[in-house]
Amino acid sequence: MGECLTLILGGARSGKSAFAEQQAAATTGEVLYVATAEAWDDEMRRRIAAHRAQRPATWRTVEAPRQTGAAIRTAMTPATTCVLVDCITLLASNVILALPETSDEQAADAALNTEIDLLLAAYATSSAAWYVVSNEVGLGIVPAYPLGRLYRDALGRANQRLAAAADRVLLMVAGLPLTVK
């Protein structure tokens, strides 16, 4: 089993990714950075490019918008001492939007649970420290549209599963980490 699984939650622009990257940079050995974003438009392409530019060139990057756990298992080497997954938020979006019917809550939960199962299975076979980033989407207003509510609920349940499995859970607020677990 991995050295330590840390789940880093927070709102948009709360400092989650920057904090996770600082933690990963402080480790010795190989860092495997796992990106779940997909470049759907120019704005997202710019965001992805900015994230790439700020990461150390020595980090190995795997882009895995879906089937993230399988991609990590394939990419890990004996030299991998740290795995940073950024982020479950986009993974959930990718998984739900790939469903034939995006209004099916049971299908969304099943598909996302499969992703979380595979991610935790990859962690179980690893000896690395893991940092997993996800948005806490349950603190805001109720989304106005059914797909938004389905997404919020599915991601909330996925975050709960990850938090239960994690050794540490941090909530980022204004760039500051608050210890939850």
In tens, the pLDDT along 56-67 reads: 889 999 999 999
Q: How far apart are CA 149 and CA 137, in angstroms?
A: 10
d(CA 69, CA 179): 26
What pTM was computed for the model?
0.94
> Among 178, 153, 134, which residue's Cα sits nearest to residue 12?
134
Fold of the domain spanning 4-179:
Rossmann fold (3.40.50)
Could you say which DSSP state residue 14 is in?
A: S
Domain ranges of the chain: 4-179
Would the CA dihedral through 1, 84, 10, 176 be positive or negative? positive
Strands (E), the chain: 4-10, 30-35, 60-63, 80-86, 129-135, 168-173, 176-179
Q: Give the pLDDT mean for 80-103.
A: 95
Task: Render pLDDT for 109-167 as a digit per residue (tens, 0 to 9).
Answer: 999 999 999 999 999 999 999 999 999 998 888 999 999 999 999 999 999 999 999 99
Contacts of 63 (CB under 8 A, 6+ apart): 35, 36, 37
Is residue 51 part of the annotated active site? The answer reads yes
Catalytic residue among 15, 51, 62, 118: 51
